[in-house]
Amino acid sequence: MVEPTEHLLALKVMRLTRPTLMSPQILTAEPKDVPQHSFEKIIRSDATAVAGCETISAGQFMLLPQSFGNIYLGETFSSYVCVHNCRAHPVSNVSVKADLQSNNSRVSLPIHADKTGPVTLNPEETLDDVIHHEVKEIGTHILVCEVSYMTPAGLETSFRKFFKFQVVKPLDVKTKFYNAESDDVYLEAQIQNITVGPICLEKVELESSEQYTVLSLNHLPSGESVFSSKTMLQPQNSCQFLYCIRPIPEVARDPNALKAANNIGKLDIVWRSNLGERGRLQTSQLQRIALEYDDLRLTVIEANSTVRIGEGFNFRCRVTNTSERSMDLLMSLNTKAKPGCGYTGQTEFALGPIEPGQMREFPLTVCPVRLGLITISDLQLTDVFTKRKYESDNFLQVFVVDEDYREDEFHMDKYVRYSNTSIPQTV
């Protein structure tokens, strides 16, 4: 079929976006200069000039979009599609299709959903609609609009128009993971504004996976945010967010499940441009650093942060068999007096058999003999079967105060640290 050189219908497509702010360009010259009054005449004819104040930059003006331009990833692409009958006779069987094509996909956009089929356009009538689509891919996108109709001679005719635009990144998100000495994981997320204008971060949340729970550390104890009421970011500026991720009890009790639970969750970010354009960005699944344990894992599960000198200090530990074989363990805490040692006492007893993946809890007691921050170390676990020894150093720190210490009169931070590390083995 030979297509006509001029179609009976006219197709117009306009992207719907908020205007941009534009300042008038002020350029003047002295009457004695070569341009003389030429610049003044140009300024007075400028649409952004204020009558009587042409040489004063009185403010900013709103400039409507002149082209499709660029769109940021996570924003909603909106466009107005209009088909107009500019002929003197009706045109029948008119239908419009709109597809959005990217480097990796082609999406059919819903248009004229209220129409059950092709329509007839009388002279000067219009068939129009607004299409919306949230862009989720970076790169070149092409909006393909196709109009089909039937000529008065009964021939089915169609034509297409293509509109190209770029989808670019609005934010640069960098993440850092810190594995704590316990099972907790700390996530630091740095978000940088790489757009050409200021943006407002409305929401930055970490949606945890099923194996973890999330505690946001971006608020003070009073509930007030550490940021201002509105987190504004100028171009190229950035801010940091901190989160504490904890495994659920079922995962924390199973060493194998904890090793396999590397998926933490996703960051969900919602922002607005300086004129209120809304965008939403969600990262891919974030993964923690894989945990590596030796045959045994020692954890302090209960201990005071402050103790008095000369009094017995009780704390509770847990040992987990992370190997693939059974172990019959003998525990000994070597607290013999030595130079610089801040505590005394000695303990030795049998923990009994522990199957792979199982754990055993036991209490320990030492007597602090030096004021200040002391470190408990020299805990040794011996496998009776293989005669292998597993030593753990610096697994607990505690602050020792004088006998007349009163907490209501002496204010201090909680100087305690729980170690949760693999125990190196010695033969």
Report residue 410 as tokens.
């002496």
Rounded CA-CA distance 82/129 in Å is 7
What 8-state DSSP symbol labels residue 242? E
Neighbours of 256 (CB within 10 A): 12
The H or E element containing residue 111 is none
Give CATH 2.60.40.1230 domain extents, the chain. Answer: 171-287
- State how far Cα 197 lies from the chain centre: 20
| The length of the chain, given as a count of residues | 427
CATH class given for the domain over 9-16+66-168: mainly beta
The H or E element containing residue 257 is helix 255-260
Give CATH 2.60.40.10 domain extents, the chain. Answer: 9-16+66-168, 296-401
Q: In what order do the strands lie in the sheet with 171-179?
A: 171-179, 185-193, 238-247, 212-216
User: Residue 185 class from Cβ within 10 Å (0-12 exposed, 13-18 middle, 19+ buried)?
Assistant: buried
In order along its 427 residues, the chain shows pLDDT tens digits of 344 458 889 999 988 887 777 766 666 666 666 566 666 666 666 666 666 666 666 566 777 776 777 889 999 999 999 999 988 888 999 999 999 998 888 999 988 877 777 888 899 999 999 999 999 899 999 999 999 999 888 889 999 999 999 999 999 999 998 887 677 889 999 999 998 888 889 889 999 999 999 999 888 777 777 776 668 889 999 999 999 999 888 888 777 788 788 888 999 999 988 778 889 999 989 988 777 777 888 888 888 888 888 888 899 888 888 888 899 989 888 766 566 678 887 788 888 898 888 888 899 888 888 888 888 888 889 998 888 888 888 888 889 888 776 655 544 444 344 444 455 554 4
Candidates 2.40.480.10, 2.160.20.10, 3.40.50.300, 2.60.40.10; CATH matching 296-401:
2.60.40.10
Q: Check: CB of residue 341 under 8 Å from CB of residue 335.
A: yes
pLDDT of res. 417: 43
Q: Check: CB of residue 401 under 8 Å from CB of residue 373.
A: no
Neighbours of 27 (CB within 10 A): 12
At 377, phi and psi to the nearest 5?
Answer: -150, -170
pLDDT of res. 60: 65
Report residue 308 as tokens.
């008095």
What is the second-level CATH architecture of the domain 171-287? Sandwich (2.60)
Report residue 248 as tokens.
């659920």
Rounded CA-CA distance 307/399 in Å is 6
pLDDT of res. 84: 93
pLDDT of res. 412: 45
pLDDT of res. 376: 86
Q: Which residues contact 77 (CB under 8 A, 6 or more apart)?
A: 15, 71, 100, 132, 133, 134, 135, 141
pLDDT of res. 83: 93
Rounded CA-CA distance 143/161 in Å is 8
Rg (CA), the chain: 35
